[in-house]
Amino acid sequence: MKAIVGLGNPGDQYAHTRHNIGFQVIDAIADSYAVHFKSKGKSLIGTFFLDGEKVLLVKPQTFMNLSGESVFDVVDYYDLDMEDLLIIYDDIDIDVGKMRIRQKGSAGTHNGMRSVIYHLKSDEMARIRLGIGKQDNIPLDKYVLGKFTPDELSIVKETVEKAAKAALFFVKEGINLCMNKYNVR
């Protein structure tokens, strides 16, 4: 079993914000496989099978900075190993439209990922970081909770689709081949 977790904030007011790009990837995968979500603990969880492998799609329903609580509950309940977990989230240190896939690492400046690492007591999980860029003239909290500009929307749509494909490739082939295929050199 594999779990693909998209980080974001619950609630309609956050649905299309920069911080919720992880949820957008989960929704794109769910749409492709007609997955329906059910509330379970602190998350919305949907399941489907990909080449015989059960896949959990997870959208934590805690706010971003408490994402680790939800992710811990899922990992604990389903008894997942770190190599079976993929976290997808936004990154202000990467330009809009860019994507980086890593096998492990620190949380960087991302409080949601910091919470995940804290609660799992490990940074050994795969992750897809999606660039949302940053603007120094806008306070960070307002920027990440803001919506993409009209010019960015088509780029973001392509990035979400590419990240969804990469997540599915991770399920089939593992993180190393996924990094080799999708990380641009």
pTM reported for the whole predicted model: 0.95
Q: What is the pLDDT of residue 108?
A: 84
Residue 160 sits at φ, ψ, to 5 deg, of -60, -45
Give the annotated binding-site residues: 14, 63, 65, 111
pLDDT of residue 147: 93
**Do 130 and 99 contact (CB within 8 A), yes or no?**
yes
**pLDDT of amino acid 109:** 83
Write down the catalytic residue from 16, 19, 110, 119.
19
pLDDT for the residue 13: 93
pLDDT of residue 138: 87
* Separation CA 11–CA 25 (nearest Å): 16
Per domain, the residue ranges of the chain are 2-182
d(CA 160, CA 5) in angstroms, rounded, equals: 14
Q: Would you state the pLDDT for residue 129?
A: 97
Strand-pair partners of 47: 56
Instruction: Please give the pLDDT value at position 163.
Output: 98
Q: How far apart are CA 92 and CA 66, in angstroms?
A: 19
pLDDT of residue 21: 97
Q: What is the pLDDT of residue 85?
A: 98
- Total residue length of the chain: 185
Question: Tens digit of pLDDT for each residue in 64-85?
Answer: 999 999 999 999 999 999 999 9
Q: What is the pLDDT of residue 156?
A: 95
Which residue ranges in the chain fall short of pLDDT 70? 185
Residues that constitute the known binding site for tRNA: 14, 63, 65, 111
Q: What is the pLDDT of residues 85-117, one digit of tens each?
A: 999 999 999 999 999 999 999 988 899 999 999
User: Phi and psi dihedrals of 101, rounded to 5?
Assistant: -115, 135
Three state DSSP letters for the chain:
CEEEEECCCCCHHHCCEHHHHHHHHHHHHHHHCCCCCEEECCEEEEEEEECCEEEEEEEECCCHHHHHHHHHHHHHHHCCCHHHEEEEEEECCCCCCCEEEECCCCCCCCHHHHHHHHHHCCCCCEEEEEECCCCCCCCHHHHHCCECCHHHHHHHHHHHHHHHHHHHHHHHHCHHHHHHHHCCC
Catalytic residue check, 110: no
CATH code for the domain defined by 2-182: 3.40.50.1470
